[in-house]
Amino acid sequence: MPRMDGFPGERISVLARPLVREALGLPLTSRLLVTDCGYFPQAADHRRSRTEGSPQVIVIVCAEGAGWCRLPSGRFDVGSGEALVIPAGVGHEYGADPDRPWTIWWLHVGGTDAGELAGAVLADPERPVVPVGDVYQAVSLVEEALGRMERDDSVPSRLAAAGAAWHLLALLAASQTGAPPGRADAVRQAQQYLREHVGARTSVAELAALARLSPSHFAALFRRATGTSVLRYQTRLRMSRARELLDTTDRPIAEIARALGYTEPFYFSRQFGRMHGVSPSAYRVQRKG
């Protein structure tokens, strides 16, 4: 049976439904609106069932423990460091694991942009559980929305809560690599390696070996996750670092080129020009002018 009373230490805030209707008719909050949000620590016996679904998108971030969800598409486990995202209008049931009850931060969001944002998070709408790239940041964003709603139900608070919710959904969308389960970490680790070794010459074969995958398989996973090739991704990282050095230092362009792994300053300048439409020296003049 679902638990009817609250959980020790819980926090919850619900926007009055007349205010929901009012907010959904206003220019800004008509696009995204937090209608309900809360925090349930170690929520033993927690369970919810909505056969017709919810009018809003439901987002549940599991910070500790575990839970489960049942949709028309099947039953899914939810673990620590994962989020459960249920589109509006989808019948569902969810609850805490009986042996390891979850600690969750959750919110419901409505508005014209809510469905599109949820769709960006869910590569497959029939599989509602997704990994959270940065659990601490995700929890912080739900807590920010909750804090604003606990403060009052004014228009500024609704806007601030909506901003936190938009950031949360964008964060979740950005965390999805599109890689099969067990392979997402390989792409993230490769991205981190490239960021930490921006000036090194790193081949696809080297990254694939670190991930224990074939070069062709790894290259396909990387492109699917990032929308670009390993080489192009590495070039963008180098150009980003180049902009930073040109903006913040007076180092010669040839020295910047060498720091970023380019042995030929001319080749570096050509790559920079292709991406920015101007040479490194012209970029520096423009930024300091």
Q: What percent of the chain has a predicted confidence (pLDDT) above 90? A: 74
130 & 218 share domain: no
48 & 153 share domain: yes
- Assigned domain for 4 exists: no
| Mean pLDDT of the residues in the chain | 90
What's the pLDDT score for residue 54? 96
What's the pLDDT score for residue 225? 79
Q: Which of 126, 146, 175 is the last residue of a domain?
A: 175
Contact 122, 149 (CB under 8 A): no
Q: What's the CA gap between 180 and 213, in Å, rounded?
A: 13
- Domain extent for 224: 184-288
Contact 239, 271 (CB under 8 A): yes
Place of tokens 């300091």: 288
Q: What percent of the chain has a predicted confidence (pLDDT) above 70? A: 95
- Assigned domain for 170 exists: yes
Classify 51 in phi/psi space as left (phi over 0), alpha (psi -120 to 50) or beta: alpha
- Assigned domain for 3 exists: no
CB atoms within 10 A of CB 12: 15
Residue type, 72: P
- Assigned domain for 2 exists: no
Angle between helices 230-248 and 280-288 (to 10 degrees): 40
What's the pLDDT score for residue 180? 57
Helix (H, G, I), strand (E, B), or coil: what is residue 40? strand
266 & 227 share domain: yes
What's the pLDDT score for residue 8? 85
197 & 155 share domain: no
Contact 108, 20 (CB under 8 A): no
How wide is the angle at C-alpha 39 spanned by C-alphas 2 and 54, nearest 5°?
60
DSSP 179: P
Contact 32, 114 (CB under 8 A): yes
CATH of the domain at 241: 1.10.10.60
144 & 212 share domain: no
- Tens of pLDDT, residue by residue over 137-182, are 999 999 999 999 999 999 999 999 999 999 999 999 987 765 555 5
- Tens of pLDDT, residue by residue over 221-252, are 888 878 889 999 999 999 999 999 999 899 99
37 & 134 share domain: yes
Q: Please, which pLDDT band fits residue 1 given cuts at 50, 70 and 90?
A: very low
- Tens of pLDDT, residue by residue over 205-216, are 999 888 888 999
